[in-house]
Amino acid sequence: MRIVLSLLLISTLALTACQSRWNPVNWFGADEPAPEGTANPLLPGQEDTGVFAKRPVAVYSGIPIQTVKSVTVQKVPEGALVTAVGVPRVHGVFAVKLKPRNGGVPENGVLTYDLLGVHPSEAPYGGPERSREVTVGHVVTTQQLQGVHTIRVAGQQNARQARRR
C-alpha cells in the first residue's frame, strides 16, 4: 500500500511540473478577453440551450373536486397550515392542490381557495367515499394572514370554511 501511495504522489508531482495537457493546472489555459456583447449566462431572462436550461412550465390541468369534506387550520411557525379533505367523483385523482382566488388576496377578511385535482382519463366512477378521499395541505404565511378571519375552501358542489376564534 505504501508503494502505491508513493508512486501516486510522485506521479502527481511530476505531472504538475510539466507543461503537457495531462497537467490539471493547464486544462483551462490562461484567461482571455471576451468579445463585446456576449450574454452573461449567470443573468436570468436570457436564452439558454444547455443542460441547465429552463424548461417550459407545464400548465396545471386540475379541475375542481366534487365535494369538500373538511377543512382544518393549524398554527405553524410560518403562519398557518390549511388542510383540506375532498371527495372526487372518480378514483385515482392525483396532483391535488389548493389554488388561491384573487391571487391570494382576501376579500372582506375571507381568504378563498379552490380544491383542484387532476382526474385520470379512464377512471372508474363511484365506489366507497372513503376510498376516493384526497387530502392536501397548504402553508399560508403570517403576512398573507394579515386581515384574514376566515379561510374558505370551495369544491364543485360545496364549500367549507374555518374561522379564527
Q: What is the pLDDT of residues 99-132, one digit of tens each?
A: 999 988 999 999 999 999 999 988 788 788 898 9
Question: Which residue in the block uniquely carries the three cell numbers 387550520?
Answer: 73
Q: So what's the pLDDT on residue 28? A: 63
> What are the residue ranges in the chain where pLDDT is below 70?
15, 17, 20-53, 165
Q: Do 164 and 151 contact (CB within 8 A), yes or no? A: no
Q: So what's the pLDDT on residue 2? A: 85
Polymer length in residues for the chain: 165
Q: So what's the pLDDT on residue 40? A: 64
Pick from 142, 162, 137, 165: which is nearest to 152 by CA?
162
**DSSP H/E element including 131:** helix 129-132
Report how far residue 79's alpha carbon sits from residue 157's, in angstroms, rounded to the nearest whole number. 29
How many C-beta neighbours within 10 Å does residue 88 have? 23
Rounded to 10 degrees, the C-alpha dihedral 119/122/127/131 comes to -50
Q: Using the Cα atoms of residue 94, residue 116, residue 86 and residue 139 in order, give the sign of their dihedral.
A: positive
* β-strands 63-64, 150-154 pairing: unpaired
Q: So what's the pLDDT on residue 128? A: 87
